[in-house]
Structure 1
Amino acid sequence: MSTLRVTAERLVILEHPNADALELAQVGLYRAVVAKGAYRSGDHALYIPEQAVLPAELIGELGLTGKLAGPRADRVKAVRLRGELSQGIVCRPAALGDTDLAAAAERGEDFAELLGIVKWQPPVPTSMSGEVVGAPDLLPWVDVENLKRHPDVFEPGEPVVLTEKLHGSCCLVTYTAATGEVQVSSKGIGAQGLALVEDGRNLYWRAVRAYDIPAVAARLAEELGAERVGIFGEVFGEGVQDLTYGASARSGRPGYAAFDVSAVIDGQLTWLPAAELLGGELPLVPELWRGPFDTATVLEHAQGEETHSGRGLHLREGVVIRPVAERWSPVLGGRAIAKVVSDAYLTRKGGTEFE
């Protein structure tokens, strides 16, 4: 899940092809449906992204009572309005009436706290929870930002690789070479500096033991001369999320696919290519394409059917984009990695978003 920031943005206004009273306000590569005439290209307004949870007062002010997602109708979610995908909310709340939004956009000011907007936290099913302990040495996963919000992460023509984004739950495994200790966590629990105590009923530990991930991590640590090795993968199947890829997590061997590796070598954290290091030992997320970065190509590959099962059982969640040569991104202020989520995934009915 991406980080939550509620910022002022410069708008580009586009025609809505199917509605005379509506227009499209573009922010980055996102488009949100707005009332016709409310904004002009070059105007600045607040952009509230998907997965933001709004307070009741703001929902009422924006005329969105009963129209948002979730049991309390307070969560921003992508919707189709007259056939066009609308992601996020473009608005000018009364609380910012005296704010120079153009200057705020220049500063990158975040208004989430001021407006009482918080990030939605997915529920954690019993099978994905358990007893936890402090894990200061756990190698955490990163929040992968959406390319639509940050379209300049990659340079045109930069060599990139696109892998399929699988809809499951992120499993973190950290192996410490000096002690042989294995720490297992989820993305959400790991972000709190916690690891799960081993339990045969826990989804993540069942996957770790079923695929003998500690043995793979130990081999990598020895070959790389690493102090710690992190292996990151997606656990999926029936009983995890609504998209199953033909697997079942109710059995002793849930679906699993690795997508990243990190290692601490001489005290420095390094990200390494999972396909090169794990191929043949662990299942991997499918590689969909590699070549020179082009926005249209990436957006096209985010759509369609899943490929992991080899049978196209259901829609594709999206893609993850990485540079072929791992690097730091000045746009993100961290690792150069981004995602794009498919339109069909965003607007499906009855979807689950456990973490």
Structure 2
Amino acid sequence: MSTLRVTAERLTVLDHPNADALELAQVGLYRAVVAKGAYRTGEYALYIPEQAVLPAALVEELGLTGRLAGSGANRVKAVRLRGELSQGIVCLPRAVAGTDLAEAAAQGRDFAEQLGITKWQPPIPTAMNGEVESAPELLPWVDIENLQRFPDIFEPGEQVVLTEKLHGSCCLLTYHADTGQVQVSSKGIGAQHLALKADDRNLYWRAVRAHGVPAVAERLARQLGAERVGVFGEVFGAGVQDLTYGSSGRTELPGYAVFDVSALIDGQLRWLSAAELLGGQLPLVPELWRGPFDPAVVLDRAEGRETVSGRSLHLREGVVIRPLVERHSTVLGGRAIAKVVSGAYLTRKGGTEYE
């Protein structure tokens, strides 16, 4: 999941091709359906992203009672309105009346706390939970921001690689070279500097043991001269999420694919290519394309059918974009990496969103 920020944004207003009373307000590469005439190109408004949970008073003020997602009908989710994908909410709540939104946009001001908006946290199924222990030196995964919100992360023509984003659950493994200790965690639990105690009933431990990930991490630490190695993979299949990639979940070998590797070398954390380091040793997420960065190409490749099973069994969740040469992003203030999620995935019925 990406971080939650409610920000002031300069709008580009476009015609809605299928509705005379509606328009499309574009923020970055996102588009939100708005009432015709509500905004003009160049004006500023607040943008509330997907996965935001709104307080009841704000839901009522915006005229969205009964129209949002979740058991409380208060969570922002992508929808199709008259055939057009609408992601997020563009609005001008009373709470920001008199605020210079152009200045707020320039400052990058976050209005979430002022408006009482919080980030939705998915539930944790029993098989993904377990007894935990402190893990202050666990190598954590990072929140990947959406390219549609931050379209300037990559330079036009910069060489990038697109890998398929899998709909599973993020599994973190850290190998400590000095002690040989292996720590396993999920994204959400790992973010709290906690690891899951070894347990064969736990999904993540079953996956890393079944695929021999600790032994590969140990070899990698020796090869790199690393103090710690992090192997980041997606666990998937029946019983994990609603998209299964043909993995039944009835075998002892859970679906598993590595998407990233990090290593602490001479006190410096480095992000490394999983494909270059682990090819033939562990299953990897599929590479879909590489070449010069073009937003249109990325958005196109985010759609379509999954390639993990080799049988195109269901829709594709999306893509992850990385530069061929790992680098820092001044736009993000951290690692240059982004995602794009397919419209079909966002608007499917009966989907699950466990971390």
Q: TM-score range by the shorter chain?
A: over 0.9
C-alpha displacement at 1:253, in angstroms? Answer: 1.1
Provide the C-alpha distance between the structure 1 equivalents of 2:106 and 2:290, rounded to a whole number of angstroms. 34
Structure 2 residue aligned with 1:30: 30
Structure 1 residue aligned with 2:340: 340
The 5 A counterparts of 1:114-125 are 114-125=114-125
The 5 A counterparts of 1:146-185 are 146-185=146-185
Provide the C-alpha distance between the structure 2 equivalents of 1:110 and 1:98, rounded to a whole number of angstroms. 16
C-alpha displacement at 1:250, in angstroms? Answer: 4.2
Secondary structure (helix, strand or coil) at the match of 1:174 reads: strand
Provide the C-alpha distance between the structure 1 equivalents of 2:48 and 2:92, rounded to a whole number of angstroms. 10
2:248 maps to a residue whose letter is S
Provide the C-alpha distance between the structure 2 equivalents of 1:270 and 1:191, rounded to a whole number of angstroms. 18
Provide the C-alpha distance between the structure 1 equivalents of 2:354 and 2:153, rounded to a whole number of angstroms. 28
Provide the C-alpha distance between the structure 2 equivalents of 1:160 and 1:192, rounded to a whole number of angstroms. 31
Asked if the contact 1:22–1:35 (Cα under 8 Å) also holds between the matched residues in 2, the reply is: yes
Comparing 242-251 and 144-153, the one that deviates more: 242-251
Asked if the contact 1:182–1:214 (Cα under 8 Å) also holds between the matched residues in 2, the reply is: yes
Structure 2 residue aligned with 1:188: 188
Secondary structure (helix, strand or coil) at the match of 1:127 reads: helix
Asked if the contact 1:131–1:196 (Cα under 8 Å) also holds between the matched residues in 2, the reply is: yes
Asked if the contact 1:260–1:273 (Cα under 8 Å) also holds between the matched residues in 2, the reply is: yes
The 5 A counterparts of 1:32-71 are 32-71=32-71
Secondary structure (helix, strand or coil) at the match of 1:231 reads: strand
The 5 A counterparts of 1:267-306 are 267-306=267-306
Structure 1 residue aligned with 2:243: 243
Provide the C-alpha distance between the structure 1 equivalents of 2:314 and 2:295, rounded to a whole number of angstroms. 24
Structure 2 residue aligned with 1:15: 15
Asked if the contact 1:79–1:87 (Cα under 8 Å) also holds between the matched residues in 2, the reply is: yes
TM-align CA RMSD: 0.5
Provide the C-alpha distance between the structure 2 equivalents of 1:72 and 1:41, rounded to a whole number of angstroms. 33
Structure 2 residue aligned with 1:349: 349
Provide the C-alpha distance between the structure 2 equivalents of 1:350 and 1:207, rounded to a whole number of angstroms. 25
Asked if the contact 1:239–1:250 (Cα under 8 Å) also holds between the matched residues in 2, the reply is: no
Where structure 1 has 5 or more consecutive residues not aligned to the other structure, the ranges are none
Structure 2 residue aligned with 1:140: 140
Q: Percent identity?
A: 79
2:107 maps to a residue whose letter is R
Provide the C-alpha distance between the structure 1 equivalents of 2:192 and 2:66, rounded to a whole number of angstroms. 33
Provide the C-alpha distance between the structure 1 equivalents of 2:250 and 2:184, rounded to a whole number of angstroms. 19
Provide the C-alpha distance between the structure 1 equivalents of 2:324 and 2:121, rounded to a whole number of angstroms. 32
Provide the C-alpha distance between the structure 1 equivalents of 2:206 and 2:250, rounded to a whole number of angstroms. 10
1:162 maps to a residue whose letter is L
Secondary structure (helix, strand or coil) at the match of 1:204 reads: helix
Secondary structure (helix, strand or coil) at the match of 1:155 reads: coil
Provide the C-alpha distance between the structure 2 equivalents of 1:82 and 1:203, rounded to a whole number of angstroms. 40
Secondary structure (helix, strand or coil) at the match of 1:288 reads: strand
C-alpha displacement at 1:181, in angstroms? Answer: 0.3
Asked if the contact 1:203–1:249 (Cα under 8 Å) also holds between the matched residues in 2, the reply is: no
Asked if the contact 1:236–1:248 (Cα under 8 Å) also holds between the matched residues in 2, the reply is: no
For residues 282-340 of structure 1, give each alpha carbon's deviation from its aligned partner in whole angstroms, at most 9, with x where no partner exists: 00000000001011110110000000100000000000000000000000000000000
Provide the C-alpha distance between the structure 2 equivalents of 1:212 and 1:284, rounded to a whole number of angstroms. 14
Secondary structure (helix, strand or coil) at the match of 1:349 reads: coil
Structure 2 residue aligned with 1:107: 107
C-alpha displacement at 1:103, in angstroms? Answer: 0.6
Secondary structure (helix, strand or coil) at the match of 1:291 reads: strand
Structure 1: which 4+ aligned runs deviate by more than 4 Å? none
C-alpha displacement at 1:271, in angstroms? Answer: 0.2
